[in-house]
Amino acid sequence: MPVNRNPTVRQRRLARTLKELRTAKRLTLAQAAQQLACAESKISRIEAAQSGIRIVDLRLLLDLYGVHDPSTRGGLEALSREGRLRGWWDRYSETLSPLYADYIALEADASDAYSIETILVPGLLQTEDYTRAVVRAQIEDATPQQVETLTKVRQERRSVLAREVPLRLWVVLSESALKHQIGGPAVMREQLDFLVATSDSPNISIQILPEASEVHAALFGPVVVLSFPETTETDVAYVDSLLSTLYIEEPDEVLRYAKLIRRALAESLSRTESVALIERIAKGMV
C-alpha cells in the first residue's frame, strides 16, 4: 500500500491499538511480520499509520495477538474499513485548527466522555447564543462568518448525544461557571435553562462542584477523557491550559486524569442537587 501522508484519526487509532496489542503480547516486529509473510518495515508503517492494512491481514494479526472476541474484532475491522472516510467536520477544514478537528473526530467515535469544566459550559451543552459570545471573546478579530461557522460546528457536534447509540456524557461543572454571565443575563439564563432541560436525558449527567467545596475546580481541569467501545483501545485525554491544548494517549497519564475526574465527581453535588442549584442561579438572572 502507498505511504499515507495524511492519516485520519481513525487510522491513527487503529495503528496505535495494533501496536499496543503487539507489545502487550511481547511480540517483536519480526514475529508480526512473519504472521503476514511480509517485511518488518510493513508492520512499522502500519503501526505508524503510514500505511493502511487489508482486512485479511488485520484478522491474521488479531489472531496472533489473541483478540478473539467477535465484538472487539468487528470494531477494529470497522476502523480499518472506515479509516479513509472523512467526517462532516472536514467541510470546515479552513476554519478549524487541526487539533480541534482531531478532537471532533475522536468525540464522534467515543462511547463515553468525562469532562471537568472550570470556566465555561462544555461545548456539547452550549446554546447557540452562548457559543457566539464565547467565540467573540476568544477570537477578538473573528469575522461574523467565522463566528457563525464555529457556532454551527459546535451545534453539529451535539449529534453524538442523539445518535442511535448516544455518547454517554458525564460533566463536572464549577458553580462559578454558572454565574459568569457570558453574553449577558438573557443569554446566560437561556443557557442555564437548557442545562436543566438537558439533565433529563438518560445519557447525560451534570454535577456541580460548589463554590463552598474545600477543593477548587481549577485543581481538576479543564480536562476531557474519551473512552471508546473497543475494549482493546485505550482512553485519550485532552487538557486545556491558557496557552495550549494537550492531547494525551499514554495510558498511565490518562489514568491519572481519570482518577482526578472520579475525585471531582465525589466532591460534587448529586445530579438532583445540581439541577436545583442551576435553577436557583437561573432565577437570579434578570
pLDDT of amino acid 27? 94
Share the mean pLDDT of the chain.
88
* Beta pairing partners, 246: 239
In a domain, 159, yes or no: yes
pLDDT of amino acid 94? 86
In a domain, 98, yes or no: yes
Q: List C-alpha distances in Å: 189 to 108, 129, 195, 277.
A: 29, 11, 10, 13
Here the CATH number for the domain that contains residue 56 is: 1.10.260.40
pTM higher than 0.75: yes
pLDDT of amino acid 221? 67
In a domain, 61, yes or no: yes
What is the percentage of the chain residues whose pLDDT exceeds 90?
53
Which pLDDT tens digit goes with each residue over 82-119?
Answer: 776 678 888 998 888 888 888 898 898 899 999 999 88
Domain limits for position 51: 9-81
- Which of 81, 101, 134 is the C-terminal boundary of a domain? 81
pLDDT at 273 over 60: yes
In this structure, the answer to whether residues 208 and 256 fall within a common structural domain is yes
In this structure, the answer to whether residues 169 and 268 fall within a common structural domain is yes
In a domain, 195, yes or no: yes
pLDDT at 12 over 90: no
Which of 88-102, 144-158, 211-225 is predicted most confidently? 144-158
* Beta pairing partners, 168: 112
Taking residues 115-132, report their average pLDDT. Answer: 94
In this structure, the answer to whether residues 211 and 241 fall within a common structural domain is yes
Q: Which of 211, 228, 222, 229 is nearest to 269 (CA)?
A: 211
In this structure, the answer to whether residues 188 and 256 fall within a common structural domain is yes
pLDDT of amino acid 77? 87
pLDDT of amino acid 217? 56
DSSP state of 212: T
| Across 40-44, 201-205, 238-242, 250-254, least confident range | 238-242
Q: List C-alpha distances in Å: 21 to 61, 68, 206, 216.
A: 9, 12, 35, 38
Q: Is 57 left (phi over 0), alpha (psi -120 to 50) or beta?
A: alpha
Which pLDDT tens digit goes with each residue over 234-254?
Answer: 788 998 755 557 888 888 889
Residues 6+ away with beta carbon under 8 Å from 2: 51
| Across 5-14, 128-137, 230-239, 255-264, least confident range | 5-14
Number of domains in the chain: 2
Q: DSSP string of 19-77?
A: HHHHHHTT--HHHHHHHHTS-HHHHHHHHTTSS---HHHHHHHHHHTT---HHHHHHHH
Amino acid present at 139: I
In this structure, the answer to whether residues 246 and 192 fall within a common structural domain is yes
- Which of 34, 63, 81 is the C-terminal boundary of a domain? 81
Sign of CA dihedral 218, 261, 192, 103: positive
In this structure, the answer to whether residues 198 and 68 fall within a common structural domain is no
pLDDT of amino acid 186? 94
For residues 264 and 262, give the distance between their C-alpha atoms in angstroms, rounded to a whole number: 5
Which pLDDT tens digit goes with each residue over 166-179?
Answer: 999 999 999 999 99
Here the CATH number for the domain that contains residue 273 is: 3.30.870
In this structure, the answer to whether residues 145 and 226 fall within a common structural domain is yes
C-alpha cell belonging to residue 143 = 469575522
